[in-house]
Amino acid sequence: MYKFRTLSLSLLIAAVFSGCNDKDNPDNNGEDKIAVTSVLLNSNTATVEVGKTITLVATVQPDNADNKGLTWSSTSLSVATVADGVVTGVSTGTTTITVTTSDGSKTANCVVMVINETLDENPAISVENEEALIQTIFADGTDGKSDLTFVTTGAWTSSAGLSSWISIYPDHGNEAGTYTVSIGLDPNSTGEERMTTIKITCNGEDITITVTQMATKEDGTPYDPNEHWIPQKGDVYVAGTSLDQAKLWKNGVEFDLVRGDARSVFVSGNNVYVAGHRDNRARLWKNGVLLQSLTHAIGVSVFNSVFVSGNDVYVAGHESGSQGSWVAKLWKNGEAQDFTDGIYHASANSVYISGTDVYVAGNRVYDAQGRSEAILWKNGIAQKLTEGTFRGSANSVYVSGDDVYVVGTHNWNGNDIPMLWQINDNIIEAKELVPQPNMYSSSANSVYVSGSDVYIAGTVGGVNGSIATLWINGVAHNIDGGSSAQSVFISGIDVFVVGGAYENGNSNFANLKLWKNGKVEQNLTQTDGINRANAFSVFVVE
């Protein structure tokens, strides 16, 4: 018995050591096994006709891997089948073909669109650039790879299903014609590849755009929405738009959000909130990630201002109502409160929280002739700031102690006059910042109170063009000619103002600027002066 046990143990030890050394395996010729590291396909998008085939070629890396076995699969066998890389079209639609390695389960994908072999001679909708029907975007991409152009024989609609991270603009057409649509996306921070489709329909016929957003950026790293957003004391944030792209600048470094406008920025703790819109669809971002979105088949929604108090996030803006006119609204943590009835256009332009009181500045049209009045809402109750003018608007509100400060415009003799309204216990003291008569329109766009000093950023019109202006306690200080000041923020003894400058007679801003204490601190961006551009809001972390 003793000898038998010794022999058994010796054999067991020999077997274990033999199994641990792959070089002694005669099937491996004495060499280490070379594992598969990746697999690539010759294309990540393809098109095939019903009943026809195409061949996808997979390349296993490294080339000298020991086990190059592959399996193929299709996400929709009713659309296309696959065997050894040969894809057969079954019916019209889109499917994803996946190849997987036997060693290591490495994968690669190809989105395949199956189309009819014979096309209608007079289709209701026809595409001019079919390559735009299948698009693959990196994780940090906010725009489609290319615009899609198509021709319709009548009105058309579109649907992006339940995918809130993608949109199309325009999203409908009211008549026959040639249309070009753009695709907008939110950056992909999920860590996983995602795919969706957008269907465009005309007279019962449709086309489908298939969009795949990758899990990584172009350099192969995941998209981290927080990597650039964590605020530090002294950081200067600017929200705006450049070349029709919503932007956020942090200490002069530019970050893309989506196509559209970034109207307002607010920093609370470690979080950066930006309010604006994409393609006239209101958007609120927190640290670069979409927090709230309003989407409609037809209509407009815009977030103009954001303010954070404790755990509550307030956003002021407007949204198309059932009668087609804009309704001035305030959203608190995503829940909307209507300020107007929607008979005529109205907008909420600025929000400020003081204790338990919520102040919103805006404007509303009050008759069929389109005349409007400046309004301050306190806890939802409206107070008129202008009476009997052709046009009035309240653009910004700030509360200091018992005083509420509102700036905006009222119209006199066809020109806009910049105004300051100071309100205490419902008593309004109005002051014209540019005395009448004035032959050129001007505006007061932003107000900030520091101690006993009242700072107002705006624009004064003149024979030689507009002048970016800062009023301090009612005294005007010219900042820059051919420019407009949109927002002001005071940090310590420093005065920060943002806005834009015109160039070469263009109607839109060509240069966006940050001024500090009256001098250019940063040239944020240079634009073409043709597409819209503006720096709307500035916030300094204290």
Residue 180: its H or E element: strand 177-185
| Domain spans in the chain, listed from the N-terminal domain onward | 38-115, 125-213, 238-540
Taking alpha carbons only, the member of 137, 241, 153 closest to residue 203 is 153
**Torsion angle, alpha carbons of 141, 144, 146, 152, to 10:** -170
Q: Whole-model pTM?
A: 0.66
Task: Identify the pLDDT of residue 504.
Answer: 58
CA–CA separation, 322 and 390 (whole Å):
26
Instruction: Report the pLDDT averaged over residues 162-183.
Output: 85
Question: How much is the pLDDT for 503?
Answer: 66
Q: What is the CATH number of domain 38-115?
A: 2.60.40.1080
Query: What distance in Å separates the CA atoms of residue 170 and residue 439, rounded to the nearest whole number?
Result: 39
According to DSSP, the β-strands at 443-450 and 335-338 are unpaired
User: Of 332 and 256, which is predicted with more confidence?
Assistant: 332
Burial label, 414 (beta-carbon count in 10 A; 0-12, 13-18, 19+): exposed
* CA atoms within 13 A of residue 48's CA, in its CB half-sphere: 26
Q: What is the pLDDT of residues 348-384, one digit of tens each?
A: 999 999 999 999 999 999 888 888 999 999 999 999 9
**Is pLDDT larger for residue 25 or for residue 192?**
192
User: What's the topology of domain 125-213?
Assistant: Immunoglobulin-like (2.60.40)
CA angle at 247 for the pair 242 and 253, rounded to the nearest 5°: 105
Q: What are phi and psi of 519, to 5 degrees?
A: -120, 150
Structure confidence at residue 300 as a pLDDT band (50, 70, 90): confident
Could you read off the pLDDT of 188-213 as tens digits, one per residue?
Answer: 888 888 988 899 999 988 898 989 99
Confidence of residue 120 (pLDDT cuts 50, 70, 90): low
For residue 232, what are the contacts with CB-CB under 8 A and spacing of at least 6? 541
pLDDT digits (tens, 9 = 90+) for 412-467: 777 889 999 999 998 999 999 987 666 688 999 999 999 999 999 999 988 778 89
Task: Tell me if 537 sits within 8 A of 487, measured CB to CB.
Answer: yes
38-115 and 125-213 agree in CATH topology: yes
506-526 per-position pLDDT tens digit: 556 668 889 999 998 888 876
Cross-strand bridge partners of residue 125: 152
pLDDT at residue 536 greater than cutoff 50: yes
Average pLDDT for 264-283? 91
What pLDDT is attached to residue 246? 87
Contact 167, 183 (CB under 8 A): yes
Is residue 323 predicted with pLDDT exceeding 50?
A: yes
DSSP 8-state secondary structure symbol assigned to residue 188: -
pLDDT at 517: 95
- For residues 508 and 505, give the distance between their C-alpha atoms in angstroms, rounded to a whole number: 9
Token pair, residue 435, equals 């005395």
The residue among 5 and 475 whose pLDDT is bigger is 475
For the stretch 483-503, pLDDT in tens is: 889 999 999 999 999 998 876
pLDDT at residue number 17: 35
Q: Which residues are paired to 302 by β-bridges?
A: 318
Q: How many CA atoms lie within 13 A of 180 on its CB side?
A: 4
The token duo for 214 is 């990758």
- The token duo for 313 is 């996030």
Rounded Cα–Cα distance for residues 419 and 407 (Å): 5
Do 56 and 27 contact (CB within 8 A), yes or no?
no
What pLDDT does residue 415 have?
A: 83
* pLDDT score at 117: 64
The model's confidence at residue 339, banded by pLDDT at 50, 70 and 90, is very high
Instruction: Tell me the CB-side half-sphere exposure of residue 52, using CA atoms within 13 A.
Output: 14
The distance in angstroms from the start CA to the end CA of the chain is: 83
Pick the closest to residue 236 from 457, 542, 450, 523 (CA basis): 542
For 503, other C-beta atoms within 10 Å of its C-beta total 15
Q: Give the torsion sign (CA, 470, 475, 477, 481).
A: positive
Q: Tokens 């834009």 correspond to what residue?
A: 500
Q: Which tens digit of pLDDT belongs to each residue from 27-58?
A: 445 457 899 999 999 988 888 988 899 999 99
pLDDT in tens, 246-261: 889 998 888 888 777 8
Residue 223 CB burial class (10 angstroms; 0-12, 13-18, ≥19) = buried
Closest to 166 in 3D by CA, of 191, 146, 194: 194
Write the DSSP symbol of residue 462: -
Q: What residue ranges in 343-414 does DSSP mark as E strands?
A: 346-354, 357-365, 372-378, 381-384, 392-400, 403-412
Q: Tell me whether the omega of the peptide bond preceding residue 62 falls within 30 degrees of 0, making it cis.
A: yes
pLDDT of residue 128: 87
Closest CA to 276 of 289, 260, 262: 262
DSSP assignments along 496-514, one per residue: EEEEEE--TT-SS-SEEEE
The neighbouring-strand residues paired with 215 are none
Tell whether the torsion through CA atoms of 128, 131, 132 and 133 is positive or negative: positive
314 closest CA partner among 341, 342, 337: 337
DSSP string, 287-330: TTEEEEE---SSS-EEEEEEEEETTEEEEEEEEE-TTSSEEEEE
Residue closest to 500 by CA, chosen among 490, 519, 514, 489? 514
Q: What is the mean pLDDT of the chain?
A: 85
Dihedral sign of CA atoms 200, 205, 209, 210 in order:
positive
pLDDT per position as a tens digit, 279-290: 778 999 998 888
Q: How many helices (H) and strands (E) does the chain have?
A: 1, 46
Does the domain made of 238-540 have the CATH classification 2.120.10.10? yes
Residue where the block lists tokens 């038998």: 4
